[in-house]
Structures are given as C-alpha cells and as structure tokens.
Amino acid sequence: MRRIAVDAMGGENAPQAIVEAVLKAKKELPETEFILFGDEAKLKELVGSDRERVQIVPTTEVIQDEDEPVKAMRTKKDSSMVVAANWVKKGQADALLSLGNTGALLVCGIFIVGRIKGVERPGLMPTMPVQNSDDGFNIIDVGANAESKPEYLLQWAEMASYYAEKVRGVKNPRVALLNNGAEFDKGDALHKEVYQLLKDSNLNFIGNIEGHELLTGKADVVATDGFTGNAVLKSIEGSASVIIHLLKDSLMSNGLKVKLGALMAKPAFKEVASRFDTAKYGGAVLMGLKSPVVKQHGRADARGIYYAIKQVDKMLAENLIEAFKEEFSK
Amino acid sequence: MRRIAVDAMGGENAPQAIVEAVLKAKKELPETEFILFGDEAKLKELVGSDRERVQIVPTTEVIQDEDEPVKAMRTKKDSSMVVAANWVKKGQADALLSLGNTGALLVCGIFIVGRIKGVERPGLMPTMPVQNSDDGFNIIDVGANAESKPEYLLQWAEMASYYAEKVRGVKNPRVALLNNGAEFDKGDALHKEVYQLLKDSNLNFIGNIEGHELLTGKADVVATDGFTGNAVLKSIEGSASVIIHLLKDSLMSNGLKVKLGALMAKPAFKEVASRFDTAKYGGAVLMGLKSPVVKQHGRADARGIYYAIKQVDKMLAENLIEAFKEEFSK
C-alpha cells in the first residue's frame, strides 16, 4: 500500500477541493492510502462516510502564504504542512503533497523530509506546456536555489530525465541546457562548465536551448540554474497571463459585434487554453529528497489536485526515489 | 546638424524599408543628416532625387546573421556595418543604427565606437511593452554580457533611468532589480549586492521585481544581469509568439463559424496587438558607448525603422552621451 500525506489546509480552495480530489483519485488508485492533515471537524464532514483508505490527522495550525518559511516551519509545529512532513520523515507516509506556501514546503522538504545522500541540492521542477503536443517539458531548478554550481545542474538533469521517462513516459528524453545562445561556448563560466558535464554524461543531451525556444517542444528536459529558472518560469507565466487578460478585456469592451464574434470563436479559445492547461501535469516536484514532495499551485482546483495526486502516486509506483538513492550513492 | 550613420544592408527588409524610413523621418527632422552605408547602385535608385541631407557611402560587403561576430568585424572590413561604425569612431557621424547581426553590432560598438571612460561594461537595453499603458519599460542588460558584476548593474540602471527620463519622458523613473523574490535579502550574492548599491544610489529605487511582474508596468527601468536578462527577454518574446500563433491557428482551423467570429472580433485582436507593438519604442540601445548605437529588429519594417531613427535622433538631441561622459568620469 502506498501512503500519500496530503496537507489539506494549503491553497485557496482548501480543504474542500483537496478532499474532493482525494475521493476522486482514491477510486482509481486501489493500492493507495491517503492521510489528510488539517482541521479535524471540517475534514470529517467533507470526507463523510467514505473513510476507506482515508485517514485524518488533526492539526491546529496553518502556514499562510505570507509567513516567512523558516520561521513558519520552526514555530508552527502543529501546522498541517509540518506535521505531514514529519509523518513522511518517520516513515508513516511515503510522499507529501501540498498547495501551501512554496518556500515553507521547500524548507520542510529539505530540513524535515531530508535530502538523498549524494544529491548536492534539491531542485524544484515543474512540467510546462509546449505548443505542439500535450507532452510538455520539465524544467529544473526554478528557484529552490539562488546559487547553483555545475554539479547541481548535472544531477538535476539526471533526475528530471529519469522522471520524464518513468512518470511522463517520454522515451530517451531530450535534455537541453538553458543558455544565452546556441553554440557550445555560450554562457557564463557556470553554464560553459555545465555544457561539458552534460555532454560527457549518459543523458541524451541535445545542446543549448534559448528562452524563446522553451515552449516549442524542442526539449523534454531543460536544466537551468535556480536563479535564471525562477525568472524564466515567472516571465512565461506572467506574459501568458497578461496576454490572456488583455485579450479577454478587449473582447468584452469593444461593442456587441466583437462580443458576439468572441462567443462564436469560443472553440478556438478553448483549444488554446487546453494546450496551456498545466493542471494536467500535476505540481512541481522538489527533486532529490528521500520521499516525493510535490507542490501544486495554491490556486489549483479539485481537477489540478487530482492530477497532482496521480503524479505523486506514479512517482511512488515507479520507485523513483529508490532509483535516485542507488544512482547518487555510487 | 546631427548625423546618423545608417547601416542600410542589415535586416530582412534591407535596403528598401530602411531607405523608406529615412526619407520619411528626414521630413520631420530638419536638423538631421543621414549617411547610408551599403550597395551604391541600389541605394541611389531607392533614394532617387531626394538627396538633401542624405549621403550614400558605398560598401561592398554585408555581415550576415550567421556570421561569427568577432570574425565578421575583423574580416568584412568593407561591410556596411563596419564602415558605418568607423565613420562614427572618426567623428564623421554621431550615431549608428543597424538592423544587422546583433552580436556583430555589439562587437563593432564596443571595439570600434568604444566605451565611455568610466563605464565598466556596455549593456544592451530594449524598451518592452506594459499591459496598462503605452509607456513601456527599459530592461538592461539583455545579453551584451554573459558575466556581470554588481557595479555594472548600478551603471546600467543609472544610464537607463536617464534614458527613460530624457528620451521617453518618464518623470523620476521607478527603477527595480529583477530578482527571485520581493524581499531585500533575496537572490544570489550578485543580486543582494546590487540591491544595496541601488538602495544607496540617487535613483528612484523601488526594490525587487519578479519575472511575472515585468509586463505589469510596476517599474520604468529594470536592472538585470546579462545572462538572466537575455533568458527573460527571449522567454517573454517566445511565449507571446507561441500564444499568438496558436490562437491564429485555432481561429482558422475550427470551422466557418469560428472564422467568422474571429473576423467580427478583429478590433479586439488589433487592440491587443497594438499594446504589444514594440516597433514604436525603436530599437535596443547599446548603452555606455561614446556614441549612440541602436539595434533594431532584423524583421522590422519601415515603420519600426522610422521609430528607431526618431529614437537615435532624440538621444542625440538630448545629449545623452555627454551626460554619461560627465557622470562616469567623476
């Protein structure tokens, strides 16, 4: 039986959407048990009578988005996130899913769940959309580390490639390095060194990728330092959001004919939205920890949380952590 | 009389669109003389009889986009770009505009035109759009430097702030530092140090800005290291391009009703496109050189080139370079 610890109090739609997602996923995952951490009364009410393979662990505190991560971990000892992380640490659960404060989850992951021996630094890895398929790509690290060293990026690329293959089913994933040009000698000292490390590795390294190529589907895995990765991820999300909002506003504020046209063209908008629907990829994985720790967007709805549960379950079913432990203990 | 050296052979629409733009701008800029470098016969034909304040300097070579920058500068000595840069160096022209190979223009700018004494490193600075106004913002450096030091970013911010005020007419420009979080202690060692430098400067420093806030109009000037700036700029351009292409495809491939709807909704699409029309901001300036050197997109049409000419002319009219020379010789 696989046991997933679910921080039921994190995110905008907690705990309703979280419980809804758990109950839906449970039906499809007969080998999986769910341990919900949070407000006992609320969770009991939401779960109802369907308590098979669903355990509720009462906690009294919640880490808020505005809480300072390290302080929150240290002082909110009875928070749903910290207690859930401790269950994973003690081996009472096999993985952790949260929609809460990203910084706090990173800190709980690193300091409570703990790093795999031999992994230099954990890296945060979301799956992002590409324009021409539903496959998406993984990018790592997007901000767990402000400072990065060449070896970190090599390890991140190795873990992400393995993830892409086992969890996303990509055969022989194409790995690229985010850089400021196509040629092998591009970049600062860090990225030049990483290029060589990746070239000399067993990965299917296809060379450098530039910012404008990320969404084209050129690579299945993109390695980047945590500072650049963070800026790039947020820039892409921000640009998409700005364009979509502007377009919506313009369609609604240019008179009846435009509005009617927008209504008629709706299938096209839906098609584009579905290509950029990242909920189906699950959450961002903090790679390199002793157990899977996944952060789903705080704004995720039950559908997004359901996919994140499936993702965590798949990571457990494929024994990713065991493979990493073996690889990096060499 | 202000004298602008125009590399008439760079970009996809050269030399036609370039000559067209020069002839249009000339009418509005009676104090400005244009020196066109390129294929003599073609340029003579395109310019026609309207030769007042338009000089043609024949050159026999053209630097191509695929040319290696340093090698191109050294070997294509009679290229339109290199000869134009030499005219600026010798004081026969006051500024350089090109649509050609960006790397080659950077190299020509740095090695031929030359750096202002006291400026540590030139930085490349485009003007980008924001969602809520036509003002846009400047971001520097977007890739002239793979490695950046704290003092570079401070100087770039100072030059960009001055540019925003004098050329774009922004009063007391809000300067922000691109970083991986809002708090003052965010970032790697480089960005922590730049934060303090900006805080202690005379600039109107409003703190850190994150990737998703860039297009919101929160800042008039964004300072960033050349590696991150390059990745972010390309990511934003790439995301916008992917979304727009997907939308166009979807609108055209979902049947007649959707197509008709798209036609009816056209004013809204036009409104959004006009907000993201960066041609009106001119080109990217290589800041810190002894004369203004501006790179306009290789794909720019006559309208985009016209705006770049106006931009260069404004930089000359406002004596930006003299101000920088004074500032950094202190």
Q: What is the pLDDT of residues A91-124, one digit of tens each?
A: 999 999 999 999 999 999 999 999 999 999 999 9
B39 pLDDT more than 90: yes
Mean pLDDT (whole number) for A50-66: 96
Which member of B143, B213, B250 has the closest CB to residue A180? B143
- Residue from B74, B34, B99 nearest B305 by CA: B99
Instruction: Compute CA distances A123 → A118, A230, B85, whole Å.
Output: 14, 11, 46
pLDDT at res. A301: 96
Report residue B298 as tokens.
Answer: 């290789």
A210, A268, A269 ranked by CB distance to B234: nearest: A210
- Fold identical between A1-119+288-330 and A127-281? yes
Q: Which of residues 224-283 of B touch A (CB under 8 A)?
A: 224, 226-228, 230-247, 250-251, 254-255, 257-258, 260-269, 271-272, 275-276
Single-letter amino acid, residue B276: F
Instruction: Say how far apart CA B229 and CA B28 lie, in whole Å.
Output: 34
Instruction: At B211, list the tokens.
Output: 């990737």
Q: What is the pLDDT of residues A238-255, one digit of tens each?
A: 999 999 999 999 999 999
pLDDT in tens, B165-180: 999 999 999 999 999 9
Neighbours of B170 (CB within 10 A): 18
- Amino acid, single-letter form, for residue A89: K
Find tokens 């702030």 and name the residue. Answer: B161
Residue A197: pLDDT over 90:
yes
Is A182 part of the contact surface with chain B (CB cutoff 8 Å)?
no
Q: What's the CATH class of domain B2-119+288-328?
A: alpha beta
> Are A261 and B258 in contact (CB < 8 Å)?
no
Classified as helix, coil or strand, A214 is helix
* Window from A274-278, B226-230, B279-283 with minimum mean pLDDT: A274-278
**Mean pLDDT, residues A31-51:** 96
In sequence order, the β-bridge partners of residue A38 are A58
pLDDT attached to residue A90:
98
- pLDDT, tens only, A59-74: 999 999 999 999 999 9
Average pLDDT in chain A: 96
Record: contact B180-A143, CB cut-off 8 A:
yes
pLDDT value, residue B278: 87
CATH of A127-281, one of 3.40.50.450, 3.20.20.140, 3.40.718.10, 3.10.580.10: 3.40.718.10
Cα separation, B307 vs B305, whole angstroms: 5
Domain borders along chain B are: 2-119+288-328, 123-283
Instruction: Determine the Cα–Cα distance for residues A316 and A136; give it in Å rounded to an integer.
Output: 21
Contact flag A235-B235 (C-beta cutoff 8 Å): yes
* Helix intervals (H) in chain A: 16-28, 40-47, 69-75, 80-89, 102-108, 150-166, 189-199, 226-252, 255-264, 266-275, 302-317, 320-328
**Cβ atoms of B307 and B281 closer than 8 Å:** yes
**Residues A94 and A2 sit within 8 Å (Cβ to Cβ):** yes
- Report the pLDDT value the prediction gives residue A258, as an integer from 0 to 100: 96
CA distance A166 to A196: 26
- What residues in B contact A251, CB-CB < 8 Å? 265, 268
**Contact between residue A8 and residue A97 where contact means Cβ atoms under 8 Å apart:** no
Asked if the peptide bond before residue A277 counts as cis, ω within 30 degrees of 0, the response is: no
Six-digit token pair at A7?
């921080």
B286-314: pLDDT as tens digits: 999 999 999 999 999 999 999 999 999 99
Which residue among A147, A263, A269 places its CB closest to the CB of B188?
A147
The CATH code for residues A1-119+288-330 is 3.40.718.10
Cross-strand bridge partners of residue B292? none
Residue B103, min C-alpha distance to chain A (Å): 11
By the 8 A CB rule, do B95 and B282 touch?
no
Q: Do A147 and B189 touch (CB under 8 A)?
A: yes
Å between A186 CA and nearest CA of chain B? 8
d(CA A81, CA A101): 9
pLDDT per position as a tens digit, A295-328: 999 999 999 999 999 999 999 999 999 999 999 9
Mean pLDDT of B62-83: 97
Residue-level pLDDT at B276: 87
Residue pair B103/B189 in contact (Cβ under 8 Å)? The answer is no
Q: How far apart are CA A268 and CA A273, in angstroms?
A: 9
Q: Which two tokens stand for residue B89?
A: 């160096």
| Complex ipTM value | 0.94
For B123-283, CATH number? 3.40.718.10
Q: How confident is the model at residue B53 (pLDDT cuts 50, 70, 90)?
A: very high
Hey, is B52 helix, strand or coil?
coil
Q: What gap in Å lies between CA A315 and CA A88, rounded to an integer? A: 15
Q: Count Cβ atoms below 10 Å from residue A62 Cβ, excluding itself.
A: 21
Which residue among B235, B243, B254 places its CB closest to the CB of A214? B235
* Residue A108: Cβ within 10 Å count: 31
Strand partners for A164: none
Q: What is the pLDDT of residue A329?
A: 86
Q: Which of A211, A258, A276 sits opposite B232 (nearest CB)?
A: A211
The helix/strand/coil state of B222 is strand
Tokens of B32: 């400005």
C-alpha–C-alpha distance, residues B223 and B210, integer Å: 11
**For A141-167, how does the pLDDT look when each residue is reduced to its tens digit (9 = 90+)?**
999 999 999 999 999 999 999 999 999
- Whole-angstrom Cα distance, residue B180 to residue A230? 6
Tokens representing residue B256 in the block: 């007649």
Q: Using the predicted structure, report yes or no on whether residue B329 has a pLDDT greater than 90.
A: no
Q: How far apart are CA A325 and CA B197, in angstroms?
A: 43
Between CA B231 and CA A188 the distance in angstroms is: 13
Chain B residues whose beta carbon lies within 8 Å of the beta carbon of residue A216: 238, 242
Residue listed under structure tokens 């859930």: A84
The identity of residue A123, as a single letter, is G
Closest CA to A3 of A104, A68, A84, A65: A84
| pLDDT score for A276 | 87
pLDDT at B330: 78
